[in-house]
Amino acid sequence: MATDLMETITSLAKRRGIVFPSSEIYGGLRSCWDYGPLGVELKRNVKDAWWRSMVQERADIVGLDSSILMSPKVWETSGHVQGFTDPLVECKECRRRFRADHTKGTECPECGGELSEPRRFNLMFKTHMGPVEDDAHQVYLRPETAQGIYVDFATVQASSRKKVPFGIAQIGKSFRNEITPGNFTFRTREFEQMEMQFFVEPGTEDEHLRHWLELRHQWCLDLGLRPEKVRIREHEPDELAHYAKEAHDIEYEFPFGWSELEGIHNRTDFDLRAHMEASGEDLRYFDQENDNHFVPFVVETAAGADRAMLAFLVDAYRVEEAPNAKGELEKRTVLRLHKDLAPIKVAVLPLSRKETLTPEARRVFDLLKTRWMCDYDDAGSIGRRYRRQDEVGTPYCVTVDFDSLDDHAVTVRDRDSMAQDRIPIDDAVAYLEERL
């Protein structure tokens, strides 16, 4: 069943232009995915919802967009060159490679052959800057966005004049040469992170961590994830990343089991102190009120945009029985996505393709398109068009029919209740504004 649901979601995503394999005409590139017309909207809505709650609606968090390529010294200092590794084992028979912590015993899960002793495999992608490909020109693709925030800490603090406690947030691509990517977009080698570092006075980090854990959990629920599918799990000491003193995962119950959506970490003053020592720059914060300099502690919230989007997709997927136009029960697939996340908010559907209807339907589309992402669909029966919109989670369908030409009214259908309201075209914006 579980595999079936992931297969169903993967094939729906491909068929409807949400997410599909990258470079597919060349057979694809393992674990790399492209976001199509609907996927790009859905992912953008996830990121916008995050930015709204983490930056726009807060006076104590500011945004940043730091570069993906950074000085290699950043990664030497942060401990990633030394410590950002996974234990790799290789089968002596079939030569397949696995993460040692994903296998049991010394037997290959594929062919039963003997597995090698684990060795540390660094997950950072390397490339070269400029035309010379030697060690002196080697740079890394960032494996987390957080380091950009740490190295810019003093500049951002000084220019924004924020007082501790305050946060810096950023959304951007990260890269990890994962040994075993998989489960669709859950674990990939190129992905987007939504990270926030909250700088606090030493000694207050525990209370801030608990607060952020609660806020981030609530964010998942506010955007519609079913509460029984979301839980918080604290890391065991042997799971902790090299920078973390304490870590909690917000987990979602995917069809393949409970898995991490987001991490909330107490990173202490590990990163700022290391960068201060290595760069020689003073990254301490000056507390004017108490005339005191200190290195702030950091509580980090680290989420993945692709992973969050996958959870929202899986959680929203339903197959329901609903009456068709003739009143017979029919199966319908519906994505019960939160309205803020739905890729298309309103679909305008002229009842027929007849020329007489087109100008009126276009007028309705033009009226709505400046407010919301809209679709215009005049192909096929109206029932089929409703199903197509349900399948991608469009909250409202607006049907323009022949009566509309006389009464200047349209029928608005609600995705979830399937209730229909007849409203004047002039009231359509206000009607939808109240509901979207």
Within the chain, how many helices (H) and strands (E) appear? 13, 23
Q: Characterize the bridge pairing of strands 33-35 and 19-21.
A: antiparallel
Q: Which is nearer to ligand GAP, 66 or 394 (CB)?
A: 66
| CB-closest chain residue to ligand GAP | 304
Tell me if 431 sits within 8 A of 412, measured CB to CB.
yes
Q: Which is nearer to ligand GAP, 246 or 320 (CB)?
A: 246
Q: Which is nearer to ligand GAP, 148 or 350 (CB)?
A: 148
Tell me if 256 sits within 8 A of 283, measured CB to CB.
no
- Residues 141, 147, 152: CA angle, nearest 5 degrees: 120
Provide the minimum distance between the beta carbon of 282 and ligand GAP in the complex, in angstroms, as a whole number: 24
List the one residue out of 123, 115, 75 whose CA is nearest residue 96.
115
Q: Which is nearer to ligand GAP, 157 or 170 (CB)?
A: 170
Provide the minimum distance between the beta carbon of 195 and ligand GAP in the complex, in angstroms, as a whole number: 5
Q: Which is nearer to ligand GAP, 182 or 323 (CB)?
A: 182
Provide the minimum distance between the beta carbon of 252 and ligand GAP in the complex, in angstroms, as a whole number: 10
User: In this structure, what are the phi and psi dihedrals at residue 333, rounded to the nearest 5 degrees?
Assistant: -95, 130
Buried b (16+ CB within 10 A) or exposed e, 15-30: ebbbbbbbeeeeeeee
Q: Determine the Cα–Cα distance for residues 24 and 412; give it in Å rounded to an integer.
A: 39
Q: Which is nearer to ligand GAP, 172 or 263 (CB)?
A: 263
Provide the minimum distance between the beta carbon of 84 and ligand GAP in the complex, in angstroms, as a whole number: 9
Neighbouring-strand partners of residue 191: 174
Provide the minimum distance between the beta carbon of 329 and ligand GAP in the complex, in angstroms, as a whole number: 39
* Interaction site with ligand GAP (CB under 6 A): 144, 146, 176, 178, 187-188, 191, 193, 195, 260-263, 300, 302-304, 306-307
Buried b (16+ CB within 10 A) or exposed e, 225-243: beeebbeeeebeeeeebeb
Provide the minimum distance between the beta carbon of 144 and ligand GAP in the complex, in angstroms, as a whole number: 4
Provide the minimum distance between the beta carbon of 175 and ligand GAP in the complex, in angstroms, as a whole number: 9
User: What are the C-alpha distances in Å from 243 to residues 147, 239, 332?
Assistant: 11, 11, 48
Q: Determine the Cα–Cα distance for residues 320 and 332; give it in Å rounded to an integer.
A: 5
Q: Which is nearer to ligand GAP, 187 or 275 (CB)?
A: 187
Residue type, 171: I
Provide the minimum distance between the beta carbon of 157 and ligand GAP in the complex, in angstroms, as a whole number: 19
Angle at which helix 428-435 crosses helix 358-369, to 10 degrees, equals 50
Provide the minimum distance between the beta carbon of 188 and ligand GAP in the complex, in angstroms, as a whole number: 4
List the one residue out of 258, 321, 386 whose CA is nearest residue 2.
258
Q: Which is nearer to ligand GAP, 187 or 388 (CB)?
A: 187
Q: Which is nearer to ligand GAP, 62 or 436 (CB)?
A: 62
Neighbouring-strand partners of residue 206: none
Q: Determine the Cα–Cα distance for residues 218 and 212; give it in Å rounded to an integer.
A: 10
